[in-house]
Amino acid sequence: MFNEKYFAGIDVGTSYIKTVVLNQKKEIIGFSIVKSGTNLKKSIITSFKKAIKDAGLSQDLINNVTATGYGRRNVVFANSVKTEISSHAKGAYHYFPRKITVIDIGGQDSKIVKIDEKGKIIGFKMNRKCAAGTGTFLEEIAYKLNISLDEMNVLATKSTKDIPLGSFCTVFASTEILSRIKEGEKIEDMVKSTFESVVKRVLEMDTLGETVVMTGGVIAYNTFLLKIFSKFIENKILTPPNPQLIGAFGAALFAQELVRD
């Protein structure tokens, strides 16, 4: 173990902090996911320590740490920082080394990243202006419907009717959904409509390539959303292992590259 080198990547997102620990074979041997909370620096330390413990290591055995995400500058002990676009592209390309379009749906933003055959980023789009098309949109709708996020995926699979939403805005959409339910529409049909609304907002951002890879916590925990995406683009969508960790995984790959043998 003491001759082995280990690397960590920390993705500081608006909703969650994800940390992964890699060995020299680029295998994830430990990870953690904690809420970002109000004390970001404390949450970063907590996530880092949990990932190291999960890997069965001590902190002094980590050779290099790379931080990414919107709060990456808050990781004061990081050896380097990378943008979230670069890290998600790096992580996704590792699993699918070909020309791909990466769609990452996060808590408060969505990203579309286009990567060429050699892993170079050739274009990207981000949506930060509105909660629609993000995890926050789903959380708000779940709250209004008095159900948990976990229930949304199960309910959507039971839907038997298509009911397009007329509103994209989170506030107006939640009001519309509640009104439709009071008028007699089933909650499962409205939940599916919510998922379809997320898909439509993401697809409005940019055109997609032939091979699409989806990452992010929203996809990791809402598999029915993946089915809807496939239906809309009429193509199979690829997902890497642990899609919610791809940003942190990509950052850890960068950390490994910065350490010489």
pLDDT tens by residue, 155-171 = 999 988 888 777 666 56
Query: How far is it, in rounded angstroms, from Cα 212 to Cα 116?
Result: 12
CA–CA dist 56, 44 (Å, integer): 19
**Domain containing 56: what range?**
6-86+245-257
Are 72 and 145 in a shared domain?
no
Asked if the structure places residue 153 within a domain, the reply is yes
* pLDDT the model gives residue 196: 87
CA distance 158 to 189: 8
Give Cβ neighbours of residue 108 (< 8 Å, ≥ 6 apart). Answer: 13, 14, 15, 128, 131, 134, 135, 136
Same domain for 123 and 14: no
Mark whether 11 and 38 lie in a shared domain: yes
Q: Is 148 exposed, middle or buried (0-12, 13-18, 19+ CB in 10 A)?
A: exposed
pLDDT, one tens digit per residue, over 108-120 is: 788 999 999 999 9
- Same structural domain, 71 and 191: no
Determine, yes or no, domain membership for 53. yes
- The reply to whether 59 falls in a domain is yes
Average pLDDT, the chain: 89
For residues 34-63, give the mean pLDDT.
95
pLDDT for the residue numbered 170:
58
pLDDT of residue 209: 87
Q: Do 127 and 45 sit in the same domain of this protein?
A: no
User: 233 and 149 in one domain?
Assistant: yes
Identify the band that residue 2 occupies on the pLDDT scale cut at 50, 70 and 90: low
> Does residue 194 share a domain with residue 233?
yes
Q: Do residue 218 and residue 136 come from a single domain?
A: yes
Q: Do the domain assignments include residue 91?
A: no
Q: What number is the average pLDDT over the span 173-191?
A: 85
Rounded to an integer, what distance in angstroms lies between the CA atom of residue 147 and that of residue 167? 21
Q: How far apart are CA 138 and CA 121, in angstroms?
A: 29
- Based on the fold, state whether residues 52 and 137 are members of the same structural domain: no
Tell whether 45 and 106 lie within a shared domain. no
Residues 24 and 142 in one domain: no
CATH of the domain at 42: 3.30.420.40
**pLDDT tens, 203-250?**
888 889 889 999 988 888 888 888 999 999 999 999 999 999 999 999
Same domain, 124 and 172: yes
- The pLDDT of residue 171: 61
Q: State the pLDDT at residue 167.
A: 63
| Separation CA 48–CA 34 (nearest Å) | 10
Count of structural domains, the chain: 2
Q: What is the pLDDT of residue 164?
A: 76
